[in-house]
Amino acid sequence: MTRKLIDDHLLHGEAVAGEEIALRIDQTLTQDATGTLVMQELEAIGLDRARTDVSVQYVDHNLLQADERNAEDHEFLRSAARRYGLWYSKPGNGVSHPTHMQRFGVPGATLAGSDSHTCAAGSLGMLAIGVGGLDVAQAIAGEPLHLRMPHVWGVRLVGELPEWVSAKDVVLEMLRRHGVGGGVDRVIEYHGPGLAGLTAMDRHVIANMGAELGATTTVFPADDAVRDFLRVEDREEDFREVTADAGASYDVIDEIDLSALEPLIARPSSPGNVVAVRECAGEPVHQVVVGSSANPGLRDFAIVAAMVDGRQTSDTVSFDVNPTSRQILQDMMRMGATFPLIAAGARMHQSGCLGCIGMGQAPAAGHNSLRTFPRNFPGRSGTADDAVWLCSPETAAASALTGVITDPRDFARDNDLAYPVLELPARASVNTSMLVAPLPAEEAATVELVKGPNISSLPELEPFPDALELPVLLVMGDDVSTDEISPAGARALPYRSNIPKLADFTFTRIDADYPSCARETGPHAVVAGRNYGQGSSREHAAITPRHLGLAVVIARSFARIHWQNLVNFGVLPLTFTDAADLDAIHPGDVLQLRDLHATLPASTELAVACDGSSFTVTHRLSPRQVETLLAGGRIRELAQQR
C-alpha cells in the first residue's frame, strides 16, 4: 500500500530505498508552535496563495495566555491564514491531528505537516509525513516534498486484543521490541487479520507513535473501519478503498499476536523504555493526565469515565483530562461521560496539547506522572526533574484511583469490575463553527499580516564558507531530542516567533551556558551519538543554534526530520565513519574542514583535522541538498532564484 501511495504522487526520482524522491503534496497541516515560522517563511518566499488541495493552520499548542505573546501569535496566524488561503482552526477547537482526521483527512491523499505526529493520519490510509516548517511552506507553495525513499516495514497483526489491553499497548509493544530508533528510514505498514478489531481511532493511536520509533510514517489500509469512521463524521462520500494487494511483499517483516499482549508502560524518560505494568506496580503516582494526540478518541475518554464512575481518585493524585477536540468534548457530554469524570475529581481542561508540550500541567519535581501522551523526554513536561510515564487510558484510570501504578486487570479483579461495554454515538457532534474557511483570492490579496512586538523576522544567513575552524562547544550522547536542543514548555514556547529571544533557551537543558558561550565563540560545532535530533519536527532546533553560530553537527546518526532541518538552515550534518571517533573529541577541541565547496559536491567523504590528528566523516546529502547548504539555506537559495 505504501508503494501505491508513493507511485500515485511520485514526481521525480525512483522509488528505490535510499534514493531521493519528490512527492506531490495534497494537504498540509501546521500548528501554532511551528506554524508561526511557516507563515514567516511564506512571506519570505513571496507566496500569493496556497496551491494545495487543503492547507489548515491549527492553534492547539500555545493556548495558555499568561501574557500577550501567545495572543499575538494567534492574531498573526489568523491574518496569515486569511492572506495565503488556509483554513484556520481557532484556539480551543482541538488538537491538530484528531481534528484533521475528523474534518479533512482523505484516504489515498498525501499530507505534509510541521509536526512530527502528522503520521497519525496514516490511520485513514493517507501518506502523512511530519517534516520541518520550511518543507511545509514549500509544499503550500506547490513545491514537491523531497525525502529519501524508505524501506517498507510490514507488521502483520493477528489475534484480538484481550480485555484491559488497548491500542496504546500495541505501539508500546513495538517500542519495547525495537526502541526509539527502530523505524528510522522505514515506513511501518500494518496489515493482517488483526486489523479487523481495530477502529480508525485505535489505528490513530498506533500511527501517531510511529514517530517515537523514528519512522518516516505509518500506513494503515483504507478499509471498512475507515469507511465506518467517515460515516460517523458525516463524510462517507470522502471514502475510497486503498489496500495492499494480496500477497504483497515487504522489505522488513514483523508480526504481533494481539491476543498475547498485556498492559505496558514506558518508564521515564524515553518512549522506548517499555516494561509490563506489573513490573512496576505499586510505584506511587502523583499526577495522571488523560488526553493527547496519542490517545485522542472518544473511546479513550469514555473508558476512563466508565472505570472511575462512582469512585473517587486517590487524594495523592492530580487527575487531569484534556479533551482533544471541541467535537469530542461535545460527544462526551452527550453520552454522559463528563459527569463521572468530574465527580471522580477530574480537572477538565480546554481542547489542546497542553501538558504534552509542557504548556501547563507540569508535575512536581521527582514525582511520578502517568500520561496517555506520546513522549516523555527529560524536561518536556516543563519540570526539569520530571518522572513521566506513558501508558494506556485503562492503566491511567486504574492508577489514578489507587494512587499507585496499577495493572488494570488487577484493579478489575480487586474491585469486581467487568470490562466496560461502551455505547458510542452513531453520529458525531459535527461542529465546524470554529473552522474558518479560506477567503476568496481577491479578498485575501488585500489582507495585511498582523505582527505584534513578539513577531520577529527570520534571521539572515550567510553562504556556507569553504573552510572552517570550529571549536567544539558540546559533546553529547545518544538520543538527544529536539526538546533538549530547543525546549518546549511555558517559558520558551511563547517566543516561537521571536528567534533572537528563543535562542536564549538553546541547549540549556544540556548546558545552561551554551547560549552565552556560543555568542562569544561565533562559528562552532557540536558532536553527538546516535539518533541526534529525535522527537519534534520543530525547526527552531536548527534555526536557533544556527543563529548562535552553529555550523557543523557531527553525530553517529541523525533523526530524519532534524537532519533535513539542519540542511534547510545552512548547518552541515556529518556522520562519523568510525563511531569510536566520537570518544576522542572533547569540548574545546578545534575541528578543521577545508575545500568544502569542491569536496561536498564531489564526494560523500570528508577529512576532519582535530588537534594534530584527523578522522573521516560522511554526509548523505543529495546534489540538491548540497546546493541548498552552500547557498546558506533554503530561504537564501530561493531568494537568489527570484
Helix (H) or strand (E) holding 436: strand 435-436
Q: Which of 194, 225, 260 is the C-terminal boundary of a domain?
A: 260
Q: Order across the sheet with 274-276: list the strands.
A: 274-276, 264-266, 387-391, 368-371, 287-290, 318-321, 347-348
Per-residue pLDDT band for 119 (boundaries 50, 70, 90) equals very high
Does the pLDDT of residue 640 top 80, yes or no?
no
Do both 498 and 406 map to the same domain? no
Q: Is 119 part of a structural domain of the chain? A: yes
Q: Are residues 92 and 240 in the same domain?
A: yes
For residues 64 and 162, membership in a common domain is answered with yes
Q: What is the pLDDT of residues 356-406, one digit of tens each?
A: 888 889 899 999 999 999 999 999 998 989 999 999 999 999 999 999 999
Largest pairwise CA distance in the chain: 73
Q: Which long-range contacts (CB under 8 A, 24 or more apart) does 445-451 make?
A: 445/48, 445/49, 445/83, 447/79, 447/82, 447/83, 448/79, 448/83, 449/39, 449/43, 449/76, 449/79, 449/80, 449/83, 450/75, 450/76, 450/78, 450/79, 451/76
Within-domain flag for 178: yes
Last residue of a domain, one of 232, 260, 288: 260
402 and 489, same domain (yes or no): no
Cβ-based burial of 398 (10 A; exposed 0-12, middle 13-18, buried ≥19)? buried
Q: Which amino acid is at 561?
A: I
Q: For residue 454, tell me if it sits in a domain.
A: no
Q: Which residue from 269, 277, 283, 296 is spatially nearest to 167, judged by alpha carbons?
A: 296
Q: Could you report the per-residue pLDDT of 24-58, keeping only the tens digit for each?
A: 999 999 999 899 999 999 998 889 999 999 999 99
Nearest C-alpha neighbor of 331 from the set 427, 396, 422: 427
3-state class of 67 per DSSP?
Answer: coil
Q: Please, is 440 exposed, middle or buried when counting C-beta atoms within 10 Å of its C-beta (0-12, 13-18, 19+)?
A: exposed
Does the pLDDT value for residue 642 go beyond 70? no
- Asked if 308 and 235 sit in the same domain, the reply is no
Average the pLDDT over 473-480 and give the result: 97
Strands 347-348 and 368-371: what pairing? unpaired
φ/ψ (deg, to 5) at 348: -85, 130
CA pair distance 616, 91, nearest whole angstrom: 49
Whether residue 600 is predicted with pLDDT greater than 80 in this model: the reply is yes
Output the DSSP codes for 334-354: HTT-HHHHHHTT-EE--SS-G
Statement to judge: residues 223 and 78 lie in one domain: yes
Question: What pLDDT was estimated at residue 59?
Answer: 95
Domain assignment present for residue 421? The answer is no
HSE-CB of 207 using CA atoms within 13 angstroms: 33
- Among 349, 381, 414, the domain boundary falls at 414
Joined together, the cell numbers standing for residue 97 give 491531528
pLDDT at 529: 97
Q: In 3D, which of 542, 331, 307 has the Cα closest to residue 411? A: 307
pLDDT of residue 149: 96
Whether the CB-CB separation of 582 and 556 falls below 8 Å is answered with yes
d(CA 197, CA 158): 10
Non-local CB neighbours of 114 within 8 Å, separated by 6+ positions: 29, 30, 31, 34, 35, 38, 130, 131, 132, 133, 135, 136, 537, 539
The Cα 356–Cα 373 span in angstroms is: 6
Q: Judge if 316 and 228 occupy the same domain.
A: no
- For residue 624, the Cα-to-chain-centroid distance in whole angstroms is 26
Same domain, 176 and 98: yes
Residue 444 placed within a domain: no
pLDDT at position 411: 98
Q: Are residues 502 and 407 in the same domain?
A: no
SS3 573: strand
Using one digit for the tens of pLDDT, what is the confidence trace for 526-577?
A: 999 999 999 999 999 999 999 999 999 999 999 999 999 999 999 999 999 9
Calculate mean pLDDT across residues 157-170: 98
Give all strands of the β-sheet with 217-219 in edge-to-edge order. 217-219, 186-191, 151-158, 252-257
Confidence band, pLDDT 50/70/90 cuts, at residue 454: confident
Residue 189 shares a structural domain with residue 252: yes
* Parent domain of 590: 468-641
- The total number of structural domains in the chain stands at 3
Q: Give the whole-angstrom CA distance, residue 156 versus residue 158.
A: 7
Q: For residue 641, is pLDDT > 90?
A: no
Residues 334-355 have a mean pLDDT of 94
> Which cell goes with 441?
483570492
Query: In this structure, are residues 32 and 62 in contact, taking their beta carbons and an 8 Å threshold?
Result: yes
Distance, CA of 553 to CA of 563 (rounded, Å): 10
Residue 113 confidence (pLDDT) above 90: yes
Domain assignment present for residue 445? The answer is: no
What does residue 608 show for φ and ψ, rounded to 5 degrees? -120, 120
Question: How far is residue 79 from each of residues 44, 142, 309, 436, 612, measured CA to CA in Å?
Answer: 16, 21, 44, 11, 55
Q: Are 534 and 561 in contact (CB under 8 A)?
A: no
Indicate if 504 and 612 belong to the same structural domain. Answer: yes
Q: What is the four-CA torsion angle of 485, 491, 493, 497, rounded to 10 degrees?
A: -100
Question: pLDDT band at 457, cuts 50/70/90?
Answer: confident
In a domain, 508, yes or no: yes
Range 211-236 average pLDDT: 97
Average pLDDT, the chain: 95
**One domain, residues 186 and 233:** yes
Q: Give the domain CATH number at 394.
A: 3.30.499.10
pLDDT tens digits, 253-307 = 999 999 999 999 999 999 999 999 999 999 999 999 999 999 999 999 999 999 9
Nearest to 171 by CA among 321, 381, 390, 400: 390
Choose among 29, 36, 30: nearest CA to 495.
36
Residues 6+ apart with CB under 8 A from 401: 307, 308, 311, 312, 313, 314, 344, 411
Strands 27-31 and 54-58: parallel
Q: Which of 35, 22, 62, 49 is nearest to 133 (CA)?
A: 35
pLDDT band (50, 70, 90) for residue 228: very high
CATH number for the domain harbouring residue 513: 3.20.19.10
In this structure, is residue 449 part of a structural domain? no
Residues with Cβ within 8 Å of 336's Cβ and at least 6 positions away in sequence, in order, are none
Supply φ then ψ for residue 488, to 5 degrees.
-90, -160
| Length, in residues, of the chain | 642
